[in-house]
Amino acid sequence: MKLRCLDCAHTFPPTLRYACAACGGILEVVGESGLEPPPGLPAGMWRHAARLGVTDPAAIVSLGEGETPLLRAPRIERALPDFEGEIWLKDETRNPSGSFKDRAISAGISKAIELGARGVVCASSGNAGASVAAYAARAGMGAIIIVPAHTPDGKVTQIAAHGAVLLKVPGHYSRSYDLAAALAERHGYANLTTTFINPWAVDGLKLVGPEIRAQLGGRVPDMVLIPTGSGPLVEGVARGFAGAARPPRLVAVQAEGCAPIVRAFEEGAEAVTAWGMPDTIASGISDPLIGYERDGTRTLRLVRRSGGTAVAVSDDALRAAMRLLARGEGLYAEPTGASPIAALPRLLAEGLVPRGAVVVCLITGHGFKDGRAYQEMPARIHAVPAPDDLAAVARLCDAALAEKE
């Protein structure tokens, strides 16, 4: 097992290294541990420990992440009049801390422990920070989490609850990224920032693909829609389906208020350039990539290689998608998690979804992470001044249920 640069193919031993020493490129994990699944761990992705990079079973930190449900979405299918096929929801909100980040963090912190790290640091827009805080608490390690000052309260509260040191930095996410990198270098903490910076964490995301394939009875979907900041989850899905005869087309979904990868895709550019200050309710994908544009370029290449596309969605489309998920399919997703559903109407309008397609949407984060958008939506809430008057209450309920939403 080794680390290899994606740009110059230089290789390095399996250590805590965050960039190629030869060219500064992104590193990937090459090889697998072959480790037998350790007994006593909760059910989840470590059932496939042999495919991951940890060689010491005592180092594994798990809360039961992975192997999340794949749910058919019949009401969303019916809500899209031009769609003929199958829509499936990979419900990553069911991970222990409420987002897909748990997959990456479990793999990353376990390797960090194996390699002797005494603590961890993470820059986050919220979800990764909550995950790192939870897994560090489980491991009994110190954790420093750095977030933009405007991070939603639900995410900040979750991070603080696990006892991590929380630093709030003014400005966009990339400023938090730079500070985390500097602190990791100064203190020797493992950097678990969930861009492409930690190859061991990114490697933990590759099991999403095999899970989806198994849950579809061995079928490979035609398209996978992925909420995208810098894009490590796009990498994970691509690697997870790498052995398929016809891998799925990958769709990177970004918010219109922060869409550096979509901009490069639409302009036909070879490389991604950084965005300005993000302006979107989708905090989980509001990454302007300032200073680490290589991450976006890597994602851009993966999307193109798959024959897929990159699409940006408006905040209004995100709100509509959240409402459809919650009221149509029973899934409570934050704006970022609902972004694949928001992208479907545009993909259909542009003729990018073939007839009969099997489409998988990754619902990456739970609604409790950021409930502000839901609080602004109309709701069927009624005061009951006389609860003993059952007939009046029944009439109220009948009238409310008869109303069109």
Question: What domains can you pick out in the chain, each with its CATH number?
Answer: 70-98+202-371 (3.40.50.1100)
Residue 299 and residue 228 in contact, taking contact as beta carbons nearer than 8 Å: yes
Q: How far apart are CA 301 and CA 235, in angstroms?
A: 10
Identify the sign of the CA torsion 323, 328, 331, 336. negative
Residue 23 and residue 43 in contact, taking contact as beta carbons nearer than 8 Å: no
What's the pTM value of the predicted model, to 2 decimals? 0.94
Q: What percent helix, strand, coil does the chain show, rounded to 5?
A: 40, 15, 40
> Helix (H, G, I), strand (E, B), or coil: what is residue 230?
coil
Residue 148 and residue 125 in contact, taking contact as beta carbons nearer than 8 Å: yes
Q: How far apart are CA 199 and CA 18, in angstroms?
A: 7
**pLDDT computed for residue 276 by the predictor:** 93
Q: How far apart are CA 52 and CA 37, in angstroms?
A: 11
Q: How far apart are CA 12 and CA 32, in angstroms?
A: 15
- Match 């897929």 to its residue by tokens: 308
According to DSSP H, which parts of 170-207 are helical?
Answer: 173-187, 199-203
Q: How far apart are CA 299 and CA 234, in angstroms?
A: 7
**pLDDT computed for residue 124 by the predictor:** 87
Band (pLDDT 50/70/90 cuts) for residue 123 is very high
**Whether residue 4 has pLDDT greater than 80:** yes
The tens digit of pLDDT for each residue in 369-405 reads: 888 888 888 888 889 999 999 999 999 999 988 886 6
Nearest to 124 by CA among 162, 89, 171, 174: 174
**pLDDT computed for residue 356 by the predictor:** 96
Mean of pLDDT over the chain: 95
Query: How much of the chain exceeds pLDDT 90, in percent?
Result: 87
Q: How far apart are CA 62 and CA 256, in angstroms?
A: 35
Band (pLDDT 50/70/90 cuts) for residue 132 is very high
Over range 47-71, report the average pLDDT: 97
Measured CA angle at 262 (ends 258, 264), to 5 deg? 110
Per the DSSP assignment, residues forming a β-bridge with 191 are 121
Residue 285 and residue 255 in contact, taking contact as beta carbons nearer than 8 Å: yes
